[in-house]
Structure 1
């Protein structure tokens, strides 16, 4: 029985886990742009979207059960808000050596099968997610047109059942940004899997 608490702790850190304090961005900070390769082979950055009203940066992946549950919701948000001037960019932060199902080729397959409506980017060398302070997949950062961080956290309040969502945190934050007001809450706890990194020698 003494192993049970250890197993609970292990799985809690793997999947749910409290979002730990990081050295990444906080609401009000200015984010740095990036230039990352997408599954279509092209390079993308926020500077490419001169007329954007804001950016939805989602750290996600192929493999995390929580990321999989949110795939359709992320796609729907990308479609809904593109016409309103908001660009969704999804970034896979996992190292494929640590998580073999997150290779670039399998990202391409995932995007094709799911019909992703957004660029699905790879964080080669894992340089971008630490800048943002992302700790989970999925983990969302909403930026205004000047790349000022307005919201960080979860997409909504129910990772298990999209039909049972009561609070659409991300969409509420976008609505506030669109209305010229500050999102409230500006942060929520990101629910998901830990980002996979190579073990240090």
Structure 2
């Protein structure tokens, strides 16, 4: 019985020590630096002129992501000049064996075919996907640059309307960025 209790306590302690923290709105992310579809590392800290970023987690094969591609490009066009460019992150980009249709080669094809005006990055081992608690795509994260890194202002849906033929009533990302401008 003592061995069982000791084992359970040890397993619980061990799993808590190594469980990755999930950041929430109001917390600060120090930096993001990931490989882009252009073959270079895109480092948020190296982007000196911005006030923050609109990060969109998206994949090449997700039907919802495909429906949102034009809206994501519109967000970049609208907010890049105001200091909040879009950066897309592909959660499966670094794993062409398990996720061949969502990995970097397909991300490159989609970025070129669709004419993405924003960087499309691959998330190594789901690092930022896990850190930001992303469970589905597309999911947006709005970050505001501050002295310690990037304050998380919003995590969630881009808007409340997935049908591209309808106009969204609530544009969550736009509302968040507009409050900061």
Give the TM bin, normalised by the shorter chain: 0.7 to 0.9
Distance in 2 between the 1:149 and 1:73 partners? 21
Unaligned runs of 5+ in 2: 1-19
Report what 1:101 is aligned to.
101
Aligned to 2:13: none
Alignment of 1:15-164 (within 5 A): 23-94=21-92, 95-146=95-146, 147-161=150-164, 163-164=166-167
* TM-score, normalisation: structure 2: 0.82
TM-score by length of 1: 0.74
After TM superposition, what 4+ stretches of structure 1 lie above 4 angstroms from structure 2?
none
Alignment RMSD, CA only? 1.5
Q: How many residues align?
A: 157
Post-superposition Cα deviations, 1:21-79, rounded to whole Å, max 9, x if no partner, equal x9522111001312111111111111011121111111111011111110110011011
- 1:164 alignment partner, SS class: coil
Contact 1:23/1:133, CA 8 A, preserved across alignment = no
